[in-house]
Amino acid sequence: MPVKNVVSWNSMISCYLQNSYYKESLELFYRMCDSCMIPDETTIVSVLSACGQLGDLVTGKKLHEYLHVNSVQPTVTLCNSLIDMYAKCGSAEKALDVFLNMPEKNIVSWNTVMNALALHGYGYRAIELFQEMEAGGIRPDAVTFSALLSACCHCGLVEIGRYFFGKMGRMYNIPYDVEHYACMIDILGRGGLFKEALALVGKMDMKPDIVIWGTLLGACRTHRNISIAKLVLKQLLELEPYAGGLFVLMSNIFCEAQQWDEMKKMRKLMKDHGVRKSDAVSSIKVGGHVSEFMVDDNKHESSNLIYTILNQMKDHLKSESDVYGLRGDFLDAVEI
């Protein structure tokens, strides 16, 4: 385009964002700033969302500072985006601070901050905010109860979780979604209440999906409940027969229960069916540039230098093993 306006830039930044190209979305924003184009609220909301997805707290804080320096009065939507960004970047206190200083709040504001507190284990504070919300005459919605149940789940509040799950349908007549069932089953599973959790699965208004069964399988690992784990695995494999993560999780359950023969069978099944777990991708930001990498990754232009330094660090740790109490054979097994 020979001439671009703020709508042109916003459209492309939003396009990248919606298709999960978060890094490219930020890079386009930097180019926009370099072209002396002034971002508007739509730009900042999109970029804050990208920062949240990438965990880029530095850029998120700079955008927040930009609003202060330029005396921009944030709208409710912009404040909600700030809360979400701070929460996803690990700063629940800052998210709460933004919320408390908002002159005007909507239901999204309350839901976003309760989700933020739930995510970081501040379950009781999330419940307190819900009580303030109710006292203020704001009617909760399905997202509100997802946040509350998530808060109860992270803090192990079984009885309170039961109360909110019942209140959602009984008092507010809000239909239960898969997410609400998953949260409640997670609460019960973490509490070791497998009989009640399975009974709830049987009462669901929809067919249990991979999230429901996966949640229950995770609880089985926590409590080393092998018998129910096998039943759950059967359901999961019918839904997703070639999911490498399920085989690995089940193999770990057998390993922790010292059922070595069962663990070997699970590994053999993976090998026979050519199933492998998806590689995890890590990212690091250095000098404003985000680099992504995996185990044994050689794509980076400085990979030879990186591995040389990592091996030097590993050798140094081995030489200091007596001081730190580390075993040399353990360090040899470490993948870098």
**pLDDT confidence of 45, banded at 50, 70, 90?**
very high
In terms of Cβ atoms closer than 10 Å to its own Cβ (0-12, 13-18, 19+), residue 177 is: middle
Beta bridge partners of 286: 289
pLDDT at 331 over 70: no
Mean pLDDT score, 174-190: 94
Nearest to residue 44, comparing CAs of 87, 7, 78, 75?
78
Q: Specify the pTM.
A: 0.75
pLDDT at 8 over 90: yes
Share the mean pLDDT of the chain: 86
**pLDDT confidence of 80, banded at 50, 70, 90?**
very high
Assess contact for 118 and 149: CB atoms under 8 A: no
Assess contact for 51 and 60: CB atoms under 8 A: yes
Choice among 103-112, 143-152, 164-173, 218-227 with the minimum mean pLDDT: 218-227
State the pLDDT at residue 322: 54
Choice among 133-142, 215-224, 299-308 with the minimum mean pLDDT: 299-308
Tens-digit pLDDT profile for residues 234-278:
887 777 766 666 777 777 777 777 778 777 777 777 777 666 666
- Count of beta carbons in the 10 Å neighbourhood of residue 41: 15
pLDDT at 57 over 80: yes
State the pLDDT at residue 280: 67
Looking at mean pLDDT, say which of 6-10, 313-317, 328-332 comes out highest. Answer: 6-10
Structure tokens at 238: 């019918």
State the pLDDT at residue 168: 94
